[in-house]
A and B are shown apart, each in its own frame.
With several copies, the nearest count.
Chain A
Amino acid sequence: MAGDRAATTGTAASVEFRQATKRYRGQDAPAIQSLTLEVPAGDICVLVGPSGCGKTTALRLVNRMIELTDGDILLDGQSIRKRPAAELRRGIGYVIQQVGLFPHLTIGENIGTVPRLLGWDRQRIAERVNELLELVSLPDDLRDRYPAQLSGGQRQRVGVARALAADPPVMLMDEPFGAIDPINRERLQNQFLRLQAEIRKTILFVTHDIDEAIKMGDRVAVLRKGGVLAQYATPPELLMHPADDFVEDFVGADRALKRLSLLRVRDVDLWKAPLAHAGRPTADVRAALAEADVPHPLLIDSEGRPVGWLSERDLAHDTVPETPDTAAEPIVELDDIVRDALSDLLRSDTQYGPVVDEHGRVAGVLSVELISHFLSSSRATEQAMGPAERVAS
C-alpha cells in the first residue's frame, strides 16, 4: 500500500500560460486575452471572476479541449502544442462541474477508464481503483455500484478519483463544488484540501465564489470580462493589496476580516502576559507589569492555566489573592482561526484574551489591538496558512 500511495504523491508539473489568447469563431472579442501566469508545481491556482469572464475557457485551453488562437501553454516547460491532444489529456486530470461520470459504467470502471486506455493489466487497475477509493475516503463496496446509485457528494469524489487515476501531474477542476449546497460544499472543500495536502498535485481550480477562491488557492488569478488577468497573487496579498477597484469590489468590503480567516492565533506573535501565582508578593507583579503590553496581570494556577485578571484592588493586598476580580474570559487556543478569536474578543467586553496551548497552559495574550497591528504589518502575508493547513484541525 505504502508503495502505491507513493505513486499518488508522486509527480507534479508546473503550468505556464504565455500570452495565451483564445478568440472563439464568430466572436470578435477574445474570451481569453494574452493571459500570462505561472503555476508552480504542486500549487493550487484558483481562477476566479464574474460569470462569462473566461475561466472555463482558460482551463480547457490547457488540455486542448479548446485550441489556442495565439500564445502558448507549457507543462513543465514543454509546449502543449507539441503533443497529440488525446495523449496530452491522459496526462491531465479533468474534473468538470457536472462531474460527467459514465452512467453505463460502474464506479470501478469509471475510475479505471484512463488506466485501461493506458493498457494497464486488470490486476494493477483493480489495485489502483481500491487505492483511489480509499484516498477519496469512499467505502470500496461502492466499486460495483453505478453512478445513479450515489449521492451528489459521493459522485463528486468519484469524479476526483477518476481524474487522479493515472496519477497525472496536473489537475483541472471547473467549479467542482458548484452544484453542491453550501453545507456539504464546505465539507467537500475540506476533504479535498486534506487530499491535496497528501498528493500535492498542480491544480487549476475554477470558481466564481471569491470565498472559495481564497479558501482553496495557494495563488488566486482574478479575471475580468474578456479574459484579462486583473491580479495574480496569494490570498493574503489579494486581500491586502487589491490591484484595482474591480478586484477590491470583487473581494468585498470586509476583506480584512476575510484575511483573518486565513490566520491561526499561533501565527500572531502574542503579547507577553505579566503572570502572577496566587500567594506570591504583589510587588513582583507590579514590577513585571512595568514592561508588559497588558495593563493587567494574569493569575495562573500551578499548571500554568489562566485563572483570571488581577484588578488594582487585587494588587492592593501584598500577596496575590486566590480568586481574582474578573475571570479570564474568553480563553483563546493557539489553533483557533484568528477571525473566530476576534469574534470572541468582541463578544466578551474585555479587550484581551489569554491564549493557551494544547495543554491549556498560557502561551500569551491576544487583543483586538494586537490583531489590527498584526494585520497592517506585512507579516500577515508570510504567516498566512497554505490551503492545506487551513483544515489541519
Chain B
Amino acid sequence: MIHPTFALLSNFSGAFDFIFHTREAQTGGVHVGGLHQVLSFTWEHVKLSGAAILIACAVAIPIGLVLGHAGKGELVAITISNVGRAVPSLALIAFFVAYIGVGFTNVTLALVLLAIPPILTNTYIGVRQVDPEVIDAGRGMGLTAVQVVRRIELPLALSSMFGGIRTSAVNVVATATIAPLAGVLTLGDFILSANVYGADGRLAGAILVALLAVAVELAFATLQRVVSPKGLKVST
C-alpha cells in the first residue's frame, strides 16, 4: 500500500489530466476525457437540472402562495417536505426507470418530484411568516386578495422561497449524477462507467460534480441575497 497522501496526489493529478486531455478508453477503441467531452456532459447535467428546477418552480410556487395566503394546508405543506426529504433519490430514479422508462424526459420528471417539496414548503412558510399586522394593514387599505399576494406576501416571501429553490437545485444537481443509470449522459457517467474512463476519469467526475454543485449553491445564495427586499436588510 502506498502512503495515502502520496496516492492522493498522484490520483488527483491524474484526474486533472483526464479533464484537460483526451486519452484512450480503458476498454480500448475510442478516446475519452478532455475538455470537449467534459463540457458536453456538464451541459447535459445543467440542462437536466435546469429543466427540473424550472418545472418544479412553476408547479410549487403558485401552490405555496395560495396555501400560504389562505393559511390552509399547514399539515400538507409540512408533511410533503418531510416525506419529500425522506424519499431516496436513487429509489425515485429507479422507480421511474422500472415503471416509466429511461431517457431525458423521465429522469427530468423524477427530478421534478424531488425538487418540489422544498420549494413548496419554503414558499408556504415564507408567506406564513409575513407579519399578520402588515397584511391586516394592507387589507385595511383596500388591497384586494390578489394585490395582497402580489404586493406584500410575494415580495416578503421571496427570500425564503429562493432558499427552497436553492436547496432543491443542490439536491437535483447531486441526483442528476446518477442519471446515466437511466440513459442520460451527465457528469455522473465519468463516475458510473469507470471501466470506460478509468479511475482518473471517475475521480475527475467526482471533482467536476462537486465543483458544479458548489457553483450552483453559490449562485443561488447570491440570487437569494439579491431578491430579498432591501427594507429587510437595512440595519436599524
A contact residues vs B (CB 8 Å cutoff): 63, 65, 85-92, 94, 96, 98-106, 113-114, 117, 145-149, 159, 162-163, 172
Contact = CB atoms under 8 A, between A and B. Distances in A.
Contact of A63 (B134, B140, B229): B140
Contact of A86 (B131, B143, B230): B143
B34 interface: no
Contacts of B134: 100-103
A85 B230 CA distance: 31
B234 A149 contact: yes
A91 B131 CA distance: 24
Given A100-B134, A103-B229, A148-B231, A162 B141 contact: yes
A219 B152 CA distance: 36
Contacts, number: 84
A100 B156 contact: no
Interface residues of B, number: 24
A91 B155 CA distance: 25
Contacts of A90: 141-142
A148 B133 contact: no
A63 B142 CA distance: 9
Nearest to A98: B133
Contacts of A105: 231
A94 B143 CA distance: 12
Nearest to A163: B141
B155 to A, nearest CB: 5
A87 B144 CA distance: 9
Interface of B: 131, 133-134, 136-144, 147, 151-152, 155-156, 229-232, 234-236
Nearest to B228: A104
A176 to B, nearest CB: 12
Residue with the greatest number of chain B CB neighbours at <10 A, chosen from A63, A86, A147, A159 = A86
Nearest to A91: B142
B149 to A, nearest CB: 14
Contacts of B144: 86
A100 B137 contact: yes
23 contacts: A65-B140, A86-B142, A86-B144, A92-B140, A94-B137, A94-B140, A94-B141, A96-B137, A100-B131, A100-B137, A102-B134, A102-B152, A102-B231, A103-B131, A103-B134, A103-B232, A104-B152, A113-B143, A113-B151, A147-B231, A148-B231, A148-B232, A149-B236
